[in-house]
């Protein structure tokens, strides 16, 4: 047998091995890691989480708050409110225990200047018609609409005044403090004529106890 016949199969085998595709290269330190997609229920990182509006802050030195006035708390019984007030109040309850009526301090020149609303034996609202008191957040009687909106930003809800032509009502609900509402009444010139803080639905009583 000729020697080259023995070496021919070996050469064919070597040629076949040389034609095989190279193995895929593994990841190297220079390669960036593959990006991972966030879970479907996870918002993108650049979207800030929704936050609740900040509660209205009481004015320094003022007794007005979204949950009451001074030592009085909305929802107190009439007797508790009188005791917390600590002074003499004008106004008499109705014979009907579920009736609505007002109590006001002797220092008030008129009941509309400052009064406490009582309904069904509970202190449910207080009304202010004088610039001597600042509302939670800083609003006052005599303030114009632009100044009021500057204080409360986009939190004010606007509705037409029921009885004053060209007037309006601007209100804002409490946030995380009490189930209450602050309501400003404005005349046709855009000036605050009165405001009130109360539980719902009493805060929305346009006629008061009438």
Residue 149: pLDDT over 60? yes
The alpha carbons of the chain give a radius of gyration, in whole angstroms, of: 37
| Predicted local confidence at residue 104, as pLDDT | 97
Choosing among 1.10.10, 1.20.1740, 2.60.460, 3.40.50, the CATH entry for 64-204 is 2.60.460
Domain ranges of the chain: 64-204
Q: What is the pLDDT of residues 132-143, one digit of tens each?
A: 999 999 999 999
Rounded mean pLDDT, 13-26: 44
Q: What is the pLDDT of residues 86-98, one digit of tens each?
A: 999 999 887 898 9
Cβ neighbourhood burial of 136 (10 Å; 0-12, 13-18, 19+) = buried
| Predicted local confidence at residue 62, as pLDDT | 79
**Has this prediction a pTM greater than 0.85?**
no
Query: Among 194, 208, 179, which Cα is nearest to 117's?
Result: 208
């Amino acid at each position: 047998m000729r020697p080259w016949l023995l070496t021919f199969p070996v050469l064919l085998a070597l040629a076949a091995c040389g034609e095989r595709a190279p193995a895929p290269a593994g990841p190297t330190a220079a390669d960036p890691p593959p990006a991972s997609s966030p879970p479907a229920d996870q918002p993108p990182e650049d979207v800030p989480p929704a936050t609740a509006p900040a509660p209205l802050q009481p004015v320094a030195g003022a007794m007005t708050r979204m949950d009451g006035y001074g030592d009085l708390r909305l929802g107190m019984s009439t007797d508790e409110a009188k005791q917390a007030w600590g002074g003499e109040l004008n106004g008499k309850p109705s014979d009907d225990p579920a009736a609505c009526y007002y109590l006001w301090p002797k220092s008030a020149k008129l009941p509309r200047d400052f009064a406490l609303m009582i309904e069904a034996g509970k202190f449910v609202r207080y009304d202010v018609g004088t610039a001597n008191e600042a509302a939670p957040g800083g609003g006052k009687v005599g303030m114009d609409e632009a100044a009021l909106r500057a204080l409360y930003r986009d939190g004010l809800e606007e509705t037409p005044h029921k009885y004053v032509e060209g007037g309006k009502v601007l209100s804002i609900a409490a946030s995380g403090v009490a189930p209450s509402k602050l309501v400003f009444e404005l005349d046709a010139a855009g000036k605050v004529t009165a405001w009130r803080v109360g539980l719902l639905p009493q805060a929305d009583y346009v006629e008061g106890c009438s």
